[in-house]
C-alpha cells in the first residue's frame, strides 16, 4: 500500500476511534431510561433541567411560587403508576422542599452550572476531580433505621435530551422523611404570615422560637441545678452528698442537651441552617456531660480512697491503697481521652456547617488533624508523659519524694501537671513533661525505709566517740515504730579538709514520710550534746571565720 494511502487510513481509523470513545464517554455520563414521568403533562419550555444547579433552583422557586405541577417534573416518578403521577408528583415535590429546608445543608459549590457536572477547578484530592458526573449527593438525612441519601441524577429518556432530576430512591424516601421532619402541629397551627421566609432564608416563627427554646432550656438547667444543690444541703449521708455534687454539672448539661434534642425533633423542626448548628451542639452537650461525670466521679472516689491529710497515704501499710489510687487516676485519664476522641468524632461528623461556611478544606481530616496537632502538641506531650508515669509507676499517688530540693508528697497526677504537697503545706504544680525529664528521689518506692544522713563539721582534735555514744542514746529514745533496729544505725568520719573533719551520723528510719522530720529532731539533739561537751572544755567546732569558710 502506498504511504499516502496508509497515512489516510490511519488518520481515518484514529478519527473513528476517537468518535467512538467520545460517544461512549457521553453515554456513561447519563442513566438511560425508556420514559420519564409519562403520566405528567409536557414540561413547560421555560423549565431548565440541564444542570444540577438549575434543577435545584427550579425546584425551590416553583414550590415557593405554588407551581407544584411544574415542580413534579424535577422528580423521577417512574416507581409511581402513570395515572397517579399527576396527583402525587406536586405533593412529593413540596414535601421534598420542606425536608431540604429543615434537615439538609445544600452545598451550592457542588451543584455546578454545567450539564456534565465536571469541576475543572477541583483539587487533586477530590475523587471526582476532572470527571463528568451523572449522580450528585445533596446530603444524608438520618431516619429511625438508617441514613438515606438525597441525590440528583442525570437521566436521558429514549426520546429526549438528558435532564437532572431527583433520583427514584430519593422520591421513594420522601414520605418517610416528611413524616419525620415535615412541619409539626405547632407550625401548622401558625398563621401563613409566620411561615414565610425572611432574613437568611429563615421563617418568621423561627426567629421567635429559637431564643424562646434556648431560654426555656436554660431555665430548666438552672432549676435542676438549684434543686440538686438544695438536696445536697439537706441529705445527711456524706456519700450521697458527694454523689450529688459530682453529678450536678453533668446532669444540668444532659438535661439541656436532651431538651434541645426533644424540642428540635418534635416541637420545632428548624431550617437546615439552624439544625447544622443545633445538632453538633447537642452532641457536644452529651459529650461534655459524660466527660465531666467521669472527672468528678473519679475525683470523688479518689477523695474517699486517698486520705491526704497528715501524710497517711505515704505510710508503708498504705502501699496497696497508693497503687489503687494511681490505677484509678490512670483509668480516669484513659476514659477522658476515649470520651474526647469519640465525642469529638461525633461532634465533627454532625457539624455539617463546615461546608456551608466554605470551610470544607479546613474540616477535612488531614487539615484538621494537622491544625489540632500543632496547636495541642505540648498538651499531647504532657498527656503521654502522664500515662508513662502511670504505666512505669515511677511516682504513685501518695509517694514521698524529693523534687528540686522540696520534700513533698504526690497528691495528683493529672493530664498536664503533677500536684505535689510540700512539707510546709505549699502545693507545687509541675508540668508533667518537666517532672518526667528531671530526676527526683522517690523515698517510698519499693521499700519505705531509708537512711537519713546528718552531717556535722567538727574540729580536727574532736573525739568522735562521745558524740557516737550520744547519737545511739538519742536513737534509743525515739519511737520504735519510727526507727529501725539499733545495728542499722552507724557513724562514720566521711571527709576532712583544712577546717576540720566531716562526720556522718546515719539514721536508719522506718518510714519515709517521717524520716525528714525525725532527722531534723536528731540533728537538734546532737547539736545540744555537742554544745554541752564544748562547755566542758572539749574542742568541738572548727574555729573558722566566715571569710575562710567561703
Q: Identify the residue with better confidence: 535 or 294.
A: 535
Residue of 48, 45, 53, 72 whose CA lies nearest to 133: 53
- At 341, is the pLDDT very low, low, confident or very high (cuts 50, 70, 90)? confident
pLDDT higher than threshold 70 for residue 369:
no
Highest mean pLDDT among 164-173, 179-188, 245-254, 511-520: 164-173
pLDDT higher than threshold 90 for residue 153:
yes
Give every CB contact of residue 203 below 8 A, 6+ residues apart in sequence.
Answer: 194, 195, 196, 197, 271
List Cα–Cα distances, 500 to 350, 458, 506, 534, 543, in angstroms.
77, 6, 19, 15, 9
Over pLDDT 90: what percentage of the chain? 24
Whole-number average pLDDT of the chain:
79
C-alpha cell at 548: 575562710
Looking at residues 199-211, what average pLDDT do you find?
A: 79
Over pLDDT 70: what percentage of the chain? 79
Q: In the chain, helix, strand, coil percent, each to 5?
A: 55, 15, 30
C-alpha cell at 225: 441545678
Say if CB 263 and CB 206 are below 8 A apart. no
In 3-state terms, what secondary structure has residue 508?
Answer: strand
Per-residue pLDDT tens for 44-90? 989 999 999 999 999 999 988 889 999 999 999 999 999 999 999 99
The alpha carbon of 531 is separated from its chain's Cα centroid by a whole number of angstroms, namely: 64
Q: What is the pLDDT of residue 174?
A: 92
Say if CB 243 and CB 251 are below 8 A apart. no
- At 143, is the pLDDT very low, low, confident or very high (cuts 50, 70, 90)? confident
Looking at residues 263-287, what average pLDDT do you find?
A: 80
Q: What is the pLDDT of residue 106?
A: 80
Q: Please tell me the distance from the alpha carbon of residue 427 to that of residue 415, in angstroms, as a whole number.
A: 17
Integer Rg of the chain from CA: 40
Which stretch of 77-91, 251-265, 316-330 has the lowest confidence by average pLDDT?
316-330
Helical (H) or strand (E) element with 290: helix 272-305
Q: Please tell me the distance from the alpha carbon of residue 55 to that of residue 108, in angstroms, as a whole number.
A: 12
- At 358, is the pLDDT very low, low, confident or very high (cuts 50, 70, 90)? very low
pLDDT higher than threshold 80 for residue 38:
yes
Q: What is the pLDDT of residue 380?
A: 67
E strands present in 145-184: 147-157, 163-166
With b for 16 or more beta-carbon neighbours within 10 A and e for fewer, the 144-183 pattern comes to eeeebebbbbbbbbeeeebbbbbbbebbebbeebbebbbb
Looking at residues 420-428, what average pLDDT do you find?
A: 87
- At 522, is the pLDDT very low, low, confident or very high (cuts 50, 70, 90)? very high
Q: What is the pTM of this model?
A: 0.54
Q: What is the pLDDT of residue 356?
A: 42
pLDDT higher than threshold 70 for residue 393:
yes
Looking at residues 185-190, what average pLDDT do you find?
A: 73
Q: What is the pLDDT of residue 521?
A: 93
Which stretch of 245-254, 302-311, 410-419, 503-512 has the lowest confidence by average pLDDT?
302-311
Q: Please tell me the distance from the alpha carbon of residue 210 to that of residue 222, in angstroms, as a whole number.
A: 18
- At 411, is the pLDDT very low, low, confident or very high (cuts 50, 70, 90)? confident
pLDDT higher than threshold 60 for residue 295:
yes
Q: What is the pLDDT of residue 310?
A: 43
Per-residue pLDDT tens for 23-35? 444 445 889 998 8
Highest mean pLDDT among 271-285, 373-387, 503-517: 503-517
Q: What is the pLDDT of residue 328?
A: 73
Domain annotation for the chain: domains and CATH numbers? 32-182 (no CATH), 204-442 (no CATH), 450-549 (3.30.70.100)
Q: What is the pLDDT of residue 215?
A: 92
Q: What is the pLDDT of residue 363?
A: 47
pLDDT higher than threshold 50 for residue 277:
yes
Beta bridge partners of 363: none
Amino acid at each position: 500500500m502506498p504511504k499516502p494511502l496508509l497515512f489516510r487510513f490511519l488518520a481515518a481509523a484514529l478519527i473513528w476511534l476517537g468518535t467512538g470513545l467520545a460517544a461512549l464517554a457521553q453515554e456513561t455520563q447519563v442513566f438511560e431510561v425508556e420514559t420519564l414521568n409519562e403520566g405528567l403533562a409536557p414540561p413547560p419550555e421555560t423549565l431548565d433541567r440541564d444542570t444540577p444547579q438549575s434543577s435545584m433552583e427550579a425546584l425551590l422557586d416553583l414550590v415557593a411560587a405554588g407551581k407544584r405541577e411544574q415542580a413534579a417534573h424535577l422528580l423521577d416518578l417512574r416507581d409511581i403508576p402513570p395515572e397517579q403521577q399527576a396527583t402525587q408528583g406536586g405533593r412529593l415535590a413540596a414535601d421534598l422542599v420542606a425536608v431540604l429546608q429543615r434537615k439538609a445543608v445544600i452545598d451550592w459549590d457542588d451543584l455546578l452550572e454545567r450539564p456534565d457536572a465536571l469541576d475543572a477547578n477541583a483539587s487533586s484530592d477530590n475523587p471526582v476531580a476532572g470527571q463528568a458526573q451523572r449522580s450528585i449527593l445533596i446530603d444524608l438525612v438520618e431516619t429511625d433505621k438508617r441514613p438515606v441519601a438525597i441525590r440528583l441524577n442525570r437521566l436521558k429518556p429514549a426520546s429526549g435530551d438528558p435532564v437532572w432530576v431527583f433520583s427514584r430512591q430519593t422520591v421513594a424516601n420522601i414520605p418517610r422523611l416528611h413524616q419525620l421532619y415535615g412541619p409539626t402541629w405547632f407550625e401548622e397551627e401558625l398563621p401563613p404570615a409566620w411561615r414565610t421566609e425572611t432574613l437568611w432564608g429563615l421563617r418568621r416563627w423561627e426567629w421567635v422560637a429559637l431564643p424562646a427554646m434556648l431560654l426555656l432550656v436554660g431555665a430548666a438547667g438552672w432549676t435542676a441545678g438549684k434543686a440538686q444543690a438544695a438536696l445536697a444541703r439537706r441529705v445527711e449521708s456524706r456519700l450521697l452528698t458527694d454523689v450529688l455534687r459530682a453529678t450536678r454539672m453533668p446532669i444540668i448539661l444532659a438535661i439541656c442537651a436532651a431538651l434541645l434534642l426533644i424540642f428540635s425533633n418534635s416541637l420545632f423542626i428548624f431550617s437546615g441552617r439552624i439544625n447544622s448548628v443545633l445538632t453538633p451542639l447537642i452532641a457536644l452537650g452529651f459529650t461534655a456531660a459524660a466527660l465531666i461525670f467521669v472527672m468528678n466521679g473519679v475525683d470523688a472516689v479518689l477523695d474517699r480512697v486517698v486520705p491526704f491529710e497528715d501524710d497517711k497515704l505515704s505510710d508503708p501499710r498504705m502501699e496497696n491503697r497508693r497503687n489503687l489510687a494511681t490505677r484509678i487516676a490512670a483509668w480516669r485519664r484513659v476514659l477522658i481521652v476515649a470520651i474526647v476522641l469519640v465525642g469529638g468524632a461525633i461532634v465533627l461528623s454532625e457539624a455539617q456547617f463546615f461546608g456551608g461556611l466554605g470551610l470544607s478544606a479546613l474540616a477535612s481530616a488531614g487539615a484538621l488533624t494537622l491544625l489540632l496537632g500543632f496547636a495541642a502538641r505540648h498538651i499531647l506531650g504532657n498527656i503521654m508523659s502522664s500515662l508513662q508515669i502511670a504505666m512505669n509507676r515511677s511516682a504513685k499517688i501518695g509517694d514521698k519524694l524529693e523534687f528540686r530540693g522540696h520534700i513533698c508528697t504526690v497528691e495528683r497526677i493529672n493530664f498536664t501537671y503533677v500536684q505535689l504537697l510540700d512539707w510546709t503545706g505549699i502545693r507545687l504544680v509541675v508540668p508533667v513533661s518537666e517532672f518526667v525529664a528531671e530526676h527526683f528521689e522517690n523515698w517510698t518506692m519499693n521499700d519505705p525505709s531509708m537512711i537519713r544522713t546528718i552531717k556535722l563539721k567538727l574540729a580536727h582534735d574532736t573525739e568522735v566517740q562521745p558524740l557516737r555514744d550520744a547519737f545511739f542514746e538519742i536513737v534509743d529514745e525515739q519511737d520504735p515504730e519510727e526507727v529501725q533496729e539499733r545495728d542499722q544505725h552507724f557513724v562514720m568520719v566521711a571527709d576532712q579538709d583544712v577546717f576540720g573533719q566531716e562526720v556522718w551520723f546515719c539514721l536508719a528510719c522506718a518510714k519515709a514520710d517521717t524520716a525528714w522530720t525525725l532527722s531534723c529532731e536528731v540533728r537538734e539533739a546532737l547539736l545540744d550534746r555537742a554544745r554541752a561537751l564544748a562547755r566542758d572544755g572539749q574542742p568541738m567546732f572548727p574555729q573558722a571565720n566566715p571569710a575562710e569558710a567561703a
